[in-house]
Every structure is written in structure tokens, then in C-alpha cells.
Structure 1
Amino acid sequence: MHEPAIPTLTAADPQVAELVQAEARRQFDKVRLIASENYVSTAVLEATGSVLTNKYSEGYAGRRYYEGQQVIDQVELLAVARAKELFGVDHANVQPYSGSPANLAVYLAFLEPGEKVMGMALPMGGHLTHGWNVSATGKWFQSVRYGVRRETGRVDMDEVRDLALAERPKVIFCGGTAIPRTIDFPAFAAIAEEVGAVLVADIAHIAGLVAGGAHPSPVGHAPVITTTTHKTLRGPRGAMVLTDAEHAKAIDKAVFPGLQGGPHNHTTAAIAVALGEALTPDFRTYAHAIVANAQALAAALVERGFDLVSGGTDNHLILIDLTSKELGGKPAAQALDRAGVELNYNAVPFDSRKPFDPSGIRLGTAAITTRGLGVEQMPQVAAWIDRAVAAAGDDAELDRIGREVAELMAAYPMPGWA
């Protein structure tokens, strides 16, 4: 059953309650490998569902446009203080509703429409809001895109520098959504300084690894850092913008009143809870375990003949090119989902297939590490992936794998399920 229990919801709206219970059960039974997902603690769940959702709080602590902020100001200041302590930054804005608005705040703060922004191309592992053409950021600004080398799957910083010198963007983004290797923040910082650009590190995927010391930090290299608060950071669905003192005022004005009205106070409280958890020694152990699991799973997949973009991983994320398996990413992801292994289809660098039917699948180890799985379970997970990809279209075999998955996962506790 869902934990915390939901008896009032069950009595008031059994249809919604049944769906909540069904989703909790689904999350409990599956090997959840979507790289952008995780399990939050029961404490985060409780904060998210609290009466703080009732309060409007436009503005910032001590400078609100509504009365009755005596408690809310304390909640937000606590979240800000913990973010600053955890990441070692001068300033933190904890109000963005999600990662995309956090990135939009960067544009509003430092760019005028039509000016140049440089970011990793979406098919190479970047994010929509780093200037891709279907996003507002690619429609309202001139987009300069870098990628990876075909032979290595890694960013060539010399090529990035040449492109930046030729195009002179006002803002450079580093980071993305499908980057399995360590981001070279010092090299990006040197390029940004040379061309007079503001460097923005989007660490949405790796924020928990940075906080836990399992990935180098962009602090001291990028004056502006954007991140979601879920994924590896294991908080609620929200976002933050972290800055040095020089860039703080521009970001605050861009978030409010530039882009948003009142912050979601229940989410702010849950962010504070998650940041408190991330300040503990246990979280550092967890962050390093995520990487160990990802590298063990990557090795096991390579042994089974899978082609990994860049040949492996340095973080939580693995990107697989299924071309040699003669199966597209979408049917593979659908087969794996039926088999109890949840991940997503994904484009790979230089993909010859369409975005809605790409060649790859993307997976990550944050959620299964939260459940308590370790490197000793990764060969079994790889075996299930291998069997399911081979059995695409064989529903009986996929269902057999799904039962095996559920049997294993029943031994591992899940926050949110009792």
C-alpha cells in the first residue's frame, strides 16, 4: 500500500486513490532505469502533500506581495541555506517550477531575443532548452550547436573552442540529458572566458552526484548553474538556479517577476528536506554507489554484445546504440517495459533514424540504487535486458521476465510503499 497511507483520499475519491495505489505498486514491482527518475523519501512525500500548498507567496523572503508569510519565509530561507551549503555557492534561487523554466530564466537574465546561445545539439545528448529548434529557445535566439566526435562519442573541446571563437555566443551551456561521461567544466570555463560568454552548467542529471562528490563540481567554473531537484538529487519535481554573487540579482529578477508568479511552497519545503538528506554522509555513499552500479551494468552489457555510446559511463547514465541488434529503440523500450524493465528510447549521436523511432535506449541507475541494488545485481539486470531485447514480440517470454523482475524487487524496500 501507498505510504503515507491515503485513507481520506480513498474515501473521498476512490477512483483517484486506486490509480495512486496502482502506480505505487507498479513502481515497486519494476526495475526502474529511466535516468531522470528516482524514489523520494517518505519525508519528501509528506512535505509535498502538506498544507503549504495552500499559500500564495509571490516575491522573495522579506519582500512578498501577500501577507501571512511568516512561516513561508522561513521555509524558503531554509531551502536556500541548505542549497548554498550543499553546493558551496554564493546564491540559490529555489523557486523555478522545473528545469526548463530554470533554463529560460538564464535567457531572460543574460540574452536579448536574436542573440546567440551555444549548447550541445539535442541528438548528441543536449537538452531542448539549450537552443534546439523546436524549443522557444531555438526560435527566439540564434542557436550555435556543438556535438561529439563520431569515433569516440565524446565532446572535443578543441572543436567547441573553435566554434565559440567563430560564433561569439553570449551564453554557453554545458551539460545535457544523455551524456555518459564527465563534463569538463574547467575547459568550458576557459572557452567562455575567452569569448566573453556567460557559462551555464546544466547539472540536472548529475546534481546528486556533484552533491555527493561522485562527479566534479562546476562551482568556481560556471557562474550560473541550473538543476532540477529530482533525478540523482532525489528530491521533488522542482528546480534551482545557483549562482555567484555577481549574477544573483539578474537571475532572481528573471525568475520572478520575469517568468513566474507565486512559488510552489509545498515543493520548496520538499526541496529543503531533500537537500537536508543530501548533506548527510549516507547520501555521499549513495552517490558513489550510483556510479559503481552504472559502471558494473555497463560492463555486463558490453559482455553481452551491446554497443555503448562512448564505450561506457562515468556517471549514472548509459546510452545504448541498438543498431547491431537490428531493433529500434522504441520497440526495444516497449518490450522491456512489458518485461518489467523501465527505460526510454533515445536518439544516439549521428542517428540515422527519426527521433520518435530512434536507434538507442537510455538508462540510469539512480532509482535502483535507492532501492538497495548493488553491483552484484547488475549482471542479472543486464541479462534481463538482453533477453527482453531478443524476445521483442514474444509476449510470453517478456511476461516470464517480468515475473522474475517482480520476484527480485520484492526483496528491496521502496520509499512510498509499505
Structure 2
Amino acid sequence: MRLFDFSLKVNGFKIDEAKAALSKIQAKNDSDFQAYVEEQKKSIISYHLEHNSFYKTLGTSIKINDWNSVPIITKRNLQQPIEQRLSDGFTTKNVYLNKTSGSSGDPFIFAKDKWCHAMTWAEIMSRFAWYGIDFNSSRQARFYGIPLDKKGYYKERLKDWFSNRFRFSVFDLSDATFETALTKFKTDKFDFINGYTSPIVQFAKYLKQKDVILTSVCPTLKVCIVTSEMLFDDDKTLMETQFGVPVVNEYGASELDLIAFQNTNDEWQVNNETLYVEILDVNGNVLPLGKEGRIVITSLYNKAHPLIRYDVGDIGILSEKSTLRKPILKKLVGRTNDIAILPSGKKAAGLTFYYITKSVIENDGNVSEFVIEQLALDSFMIQFVSRTELSNVQKEIITAEMERYLEPGIKVNFERVPQLKRTKAGKLKQFISKL
């Protein structure tokens, strides 16, 4: 029985029709595909200018045939009651309603009409199928957060049952918890792992410590798909070694859709079927391929709520090899609010610090996780979880490396903690600026 599809249909999402519509889009030749994208862009703008009072106030200067006249929407624009942002005929009762995680610092409630949400799931299923995953039959080992209140907890457990998945805790990353997880893999026929990057990395480290290759105890495992947090090359290598399967990187936003998904050629292929993705400079101009800028996305199907030229808060680069038919995300640099400002006025992506520190701090396996906070222009705090305290020599090396790569005069403090603070959803934010 196709339980996953059935659960979508019960909730009013026409998944069979959405899959058929997506297949037709994917079958278009290049010229027809270009015409389709342009038609959808104009159609979604026209719809919201006619049916959405919130968007009418934003788009007073829009010229339908001039895409550059379409304003950029930021998360701050959307931080007002959802009822004021819904299109005519839509209410909180007849849409898919959810809330962003707030990892960008600007959480808000969003809505999708049911057809848009069905198209989102059709897109996700299409991408996962590249690796032989069928949501109706493939068993999922899920590393995600879960609400702790009774109603929310059992609601998620019910969804897990319909989705043929078992959920592992991301709030307790102790050896005892991972031992329980390993036992579950020995007794359950999982087809794939899916979830937040950081807890899955910790599970891989545990397996290395135990000298266990996961496919030796769970031979049905095909692939591991990570999302929501940065995936570093050495972590990917570790996971592929300890799991015995490919590790695939997913990039998405709950208010939009799956944005990019690593294809079988190890390219981060952008979703250009239900979304239109642009890279813009600070002034809103489209940048050439290969140039770093703001990721701005248009949802081509969401009639309930306008997400048109929406700044997701991330910085990225589209590859020079990109085409309209097959855009490739060359690099996801980080979030716009993850930029560190140094005493000299120089700016650096927060992940720069993470890369520098990671190369030193984890080389002996003592430190399992860490995060970096910028407290002042010249002051940084590294919080870490470890078996033993870092030596003064190690701390001096890390500080010296940060000064060498960035600039002299940086102060670095260290705090060993029993566990790192995660969001309510279970995500780990690896760099935080307190400025």
C-alpha cells in the first residue's frame, strides 16, 4: 500500500496529479522549458497583483514584462500576521501552514496552497528517486528534532508511521544513545538515512570509535541524505567510510521547496522546475555565473502566499556550467547574517572561522563538536564538547591560525561545555554573530 501518497491525499494534496505535472515539465525540450519558466514567472506575479492586497502594496512599480522591476521580498517584510498576507479565498484553514526554523534570525509563519505543497513533494520524490528511494516503500532512518509536548510528539510519531520512518533523537548525542541507535540498525531494514548533518556526523564518529561499518550490520542501506546544516568535505568522507554508502547533500527551505540536490555526478543541481533561482548583488542586480551573491528565489506555484524574488538569507554561487535547464549551485557560502566584521573593517564569512578551527581542533578526535560566537569586533568565543580539556598549546595554535588567516589582534576565548545548544528543531548553528 502506498501509505505516504495516501497520507498526502487524505490531507488534500493531489500528489498523483502533481507527479504527472512535474513529469510533463521535465519532458519539455530546451526552448519549451524556457517558455514555461517565463510564463510561470509572469503568471504568479499577475495572480498576486490581482488577488493579494499584501503584494499589491509591495509591487506598485511592477511592469509585468520587466522582471527587474519586481521588488525583492525579505523575511522582515513577512513578519506580520499571516492573515494579512494570504491571497483572496485562502484562510489558515485551507492552506498548508508552518513556521520557518528561525535559523536566519528572522522566523515567520508561512503558507502554501495545497497544489503548491503537492508539487513540492513531487519534486522531493523525483530527486530522491535518483538514488533508488521511494517514499512509499523505502524505510527511513530519520535524524531530526521532535516536539516535546505530548500533542506535538504523538503527531510527529504518527506522521513517521505513515512515512515508513523511524526517528532518532538529535537532542541526546551520548554514546549510550548511539549504541541504542546501532542496535536499531541491526534489527531494522533501513534503506536510507535522512536528517540534520551534525548529529549524523556524530553518529559516524561513534561508529568509527567502535570500528563498525554500518552496511555490515544493515546491508539494505543505500544512501545517506543530509540537510539543513553545512556539510564539510572531511565529514562527508568520514560518513561515507563509516556508513558504506554515498552521502548526498540537500539544500532546501521549508517555506519554498527543495532548492538544490546533489545529483549522481556530484553536482548540486538546482530545482528550476518549481522554483526560479537568482544570484543578486547588494543592489539587486543579477550577477554573472561564477560570482558570489544573495540567493533570491521565486516560488512559481504558491498562490496562497507570495514568495516572489524572496531573499532566503543565504549567500551562494551558481556554476559557470549552469544553464537554464540545468543550473548548478557551485557553492553555498553561508547566511547573510553569518558575516563576521573584523576590527579593520574587513568582512569574512563566519564559516571561515569554522574551517580554520576545524582543521586544528578535531585532528585527534578529542573534540566532537564546537560552535563559534563573535562577541565583539575583536573577540570570539569557541564553545566545544570534548572528552578532555584542550591544552594551552592547542588554544594558542587555534588563535594563531585565526590571526594568520584573518588579521592580527583577534582575541579567542574557549569554553568546554557538556553539550551545545540547538534550536527547538534540533539544528546546530555553527557560527553566531552577537554584534
* TM-score normalised over the length of structure 1: 0.34
Question: Greater relative contact order: 1 or 2 (C-alpha under 8 angstroms, separation 6 or more)?
Answer: 1
- Structure ranking higher in helix proportion: 1
- Structure ranking higher in strand proportion: 2
* TM-score normalised over the length of structure 2: 0.33
* Greater Rg over alpha carbons, structure: 2
